[in-house]
Structure 1
Amino acid sequence: MNDLKPHYDVVILGGGPAGLAAAIAIRTANINSHTNTNTSVLVVERQAPGQERLGENCPPEIVLLLKQLGVAKEFHQDNHETCPGYASVWGRPTPGYNDFIVNPLGPSWRLNRTAFDQMLANKAESTGAQIAWSTRFIGSEPRSNSSTTNSSNNNSSNNNAANEHEKAAHTLLLKFGSQTHPQVVTAGFVIDATGSKARFARTLNIHKTIDDQLFATVRFAKLAEGSQGTSSKQIQLEATQDGWCYQTLLPEEKVVSMFVSEREIIPQLREGCHQGFDQALSSTTFIGPKADKLKLTDATYHSCAIYSGVLPTVEGHNWMAIGDAAMSFDPISAQGIYKGLSHGLMAGTKVKSWLENGDETTSKFSEQIQAQYKVYQKNRSHMYGLEQRWKDSDFWRRRIS
């Protein structure tokens, strides 16, 4: 935190895929710019480097975004693994299969999430972005004067643009670790990539419209020696009376399992140091027998709320929300990481226009977000509507239109 400057042209709140992709896109555009204004970019991330995150599956189309970000080569060099397809028990008692062999872009991907995040962070820093790890955003307020000095402006070519931007700069309060007093940083442009809670948008009194809220318990574990041959590389999905569950093999002989349901089910899954979760998974007809064959070690459990929602306003003149902050999806869509990367690239386009045009900036980002969310709502409704076996169950009754 002591290395932070008092002012940045762009501050990105959140260092997940969306935030890091935005940093890469902005700095890459700056490096390739003929005017070369040396735009300063800070990424603020509350987690420490290497801390495990949820989300590990990506559709085949992700390779197109990785090429645009300039990290496709690094991605293929890391130990991510392809996924042959889905095996699901959904809407019927017997499994159905959806293989990726017919997709022209190839298979979907099961990520080594730690390596994936580190790849994006390394690329962001190599382009000149700064990352403040273990740092929390705790508040902000708009500025109405132009007294701020742009610490990154070392040449006269961008004096006018910088002054225009600073007239509406934001003051951000940041805390590093257990630090008692926050550090103040000003930003000409703020990108909210703080996840589904959209923390920066909240400071602007913009709150997400929530369509649905689910709760998930997730287990990460390692395959014990001798258990590797009993695991499947397919993504396994199964509907149950009280929700749905999911399991897949990850790189480095890891397994992730998840149970998604209502809030009141979570305490049952936590019973007996999460023995309730293990029992719930074992009781399923398709995933259960497969899970019981696995010998697992080093299991860790995580619970989290899952929102389906969208911000009514996702951008202003000198701010925007991207990724889960702009719109959050049910994990049944398996689009979270792809969405984050694509929004990061869009953020690069908007910031480039803001730097060049100031108050005259125009953007189609809001229209794109609303269109994307409508498509998501339609697809999600169709997916849940396929399951008609438990119409009287609270979980399915609330989600079958």
Structure 2
Amino acid sequence: MTVRRRTARHEVLVAGGGPAGAAAALALAARGRGVLLVHHPGGPPPVGEALPGAARLLLRDLGAAGSVPGEGHLACPGNRSAWGSSRVHAVDSVLDPYGPGWHLDRALFDARLRQAAQERGAVLAEGAVRSAERVADGWEVLIGQADGTSKAVRCRWIVDATGRRAALATRYGGARRCGTDRLVGLHLAVPAGPGDQGTLVESAPDGWWYSAPLPDGRLLLACFTDADLPAARADGLPDRLAETGPTRARVGAASLPPGGRRRTSPGWTGSAARGGPRRATRPPPSTRSPRRAS
């Protein structure tokens, strides 16, 4: 690996170009700080995430409401839930003082937040933080780049916004919050039918279902359960879907693939106070998505 030794200096380095990192960089740059935002474009973006109307206040405070979320997303007019019975409880956005939310195109949403940070003066660098070493005036950080080279930068402060992995914090002594079990999500996308554009949460004996339309015209179906239960098998997803009520009705006559993709994340076991879903013993709030942005 070739290291470019011309060392740039910044006051703050933000590792992670998702919503948390971009918002941190935007807020710091708006206050006159010299910010380097390091974004590692790896893997597919999350899908099926919704942003509530109340986010308009946060985007306004960040000074990004004029461009974020912007066009390309799908309006979310409300949320429905069926928890412990077939009765569906609905919360319509017409009752929300902040208006409807959005079904996000996450790649587009994240890119616009990073652009807003750049417009406020932050410097964007694509790459991954390889190492960070304490020096007299702060940190020397090595950033690996797509062409195989690395560049060294110095900063006084580092913000770890790498998501649930907490890649930098754990590398240098930070402790991750650990759950007593491991929640998994099985998901697939089918053609969306006409009509309902809101989110739907439905409880099941071994977890819960979440469904939401996607900006590309498909409907996301996700089943959340514990990894040690039979329901965690991806090949049985269509059969379990057939046992649901409102969720199956929403799918209608759409043909289903034979299985689904499996994602495992300890972050999904978080409490509702931290923005994650609750276990199936209690329903999640009907006014937010049970998947969170990271």
Q: Answer yes or no: same fold by TM over 0.5.
A: yes
User: Residues 77 and 198 (structure 1 numbering): CA distance in 2 closer, same or farther, change over 3 Å?
Assistant: closer
Give the structure 1 partner of residue 173 of structure 2.
205
Asked if structure 2 preserves the Cα contact closer than 8 Å seen for 1:238 and 1:287, the reply is: yes
Greater Cα offset, 84-93 or 70-79 = 70-79
Task: Give the alignment partner of residue 44 of structure 1, picking from 38, 42, 64.
Answer: 38
Alpha-carbon distance change, 294 to 308 in structure 1, aligned in 2, over 3 angstroms: closer
Q: Which of 200, 203, 211 lines up with 1:247 in the alignment?
A: 211
For structure 2, which runs of at least 5 residues remain unmatched after alignment? Answer: 285-294
Structure 1 alignment gaps of length 5 or more: 31-38, 146-165, 310-328, 334-371, 388-401
CA contact (8 A) 2:17 2:39 kept: yes
Q: Secondary structure of the equivalent of 1:307?
A: helix
CA contact (8 A) 1:211 1:308 kept: no
Please give the per-residue CA displacement for 1:74-133, whole angstroms capped at 9, x wherever unaligned.
236413232222221112233222223222111232222222112112112222222222
Contact 1:219/1:302 (<8 A) preserved:
no
Q: Quick one: distance in 2 between partners of 1:171 and 1:3?
A: 11
AA partner of residue 17 (structure 1): P
Q: Secondary structure at the match of 2:163?
A: coil
Deviates more, 1:58-67 or 1:212-221: 212-221
The 5 A counterparts of 1:222-371 are 223=191, 228-229=193-194, 232-265=196-229, 268-271=232-235, 276-294=236-254, 301=261, 303-307=263-267, 329=270, 333=272
Mark the structure with the bigger radius of gyration: 1
1:42 to partner: Cα distance:
1.5
Aligned residues: 280
Q: Which amino acid aligns with 1:141?
A: E
Number of the residue aligned with 1:58: 51
- Once residues 192 and 266 of structure 1 are traced to their aligned partners in structure 2, the CA distance between those partners, rounded to angstroms, is 36
1:196–1:76 CA distance, 2 compared to 1 (3 A): closer
Amino acid aligned to 1:40 = G
Q: Which residue does 1:193 correspond to in 2?
A: 161
Residues 48 and 214, structure 2, Cα contact 8 Å, conserved in 1: no
Residue 130 (structure 2) pairs with residue 138 (structure 1)? yes
105, 113, 118: which one aligns with 2:111: 118
Could you tell me how far apart the structure 1 residues matched to 2:35 and 2:189 are?
Answer: 34
Equivalent pair of 1:282/1:291 in contact (CA under 8 Å):
no
Residues 141 and 203 of structure 1 are in contact (CA less than 8 Å); yes or no, is this contact kept in structure 2?
no
Q: Secondary structure at the match of 2:211?
A: strand
Quote how far apart the aligned CAs of 1:47 are: 1.8
What is the CA-CA distance between 1:138 and the residue it aligns to?
A: 3.3
Q: Check conservation: 1:216, 1:306, Cα contact below 8 A.
A: no
TM-score after normalising by structure 2: 0.80
Corresponding residue for residue 139 of structure 2: 170
**Matching residue within 68, 71, 79 for 1:75:** 68
Per-residue deviation, 1:285 = 2.3
Distance apart, 1:286 and its partner CA: 2.2
Which of 14, 17, 22 is the aligned partner of 2:16?
14
Q: Is the 8 A contact 1:89 1:237 kept in 2?
A: yes
Distance 1:279 1:129, change over 3 A: farther
- Name the structure where helix makes up a greater proportion of residues: 1
Identity %: 24
Question: How big is the shift at 1:6?
Answer: 3.4
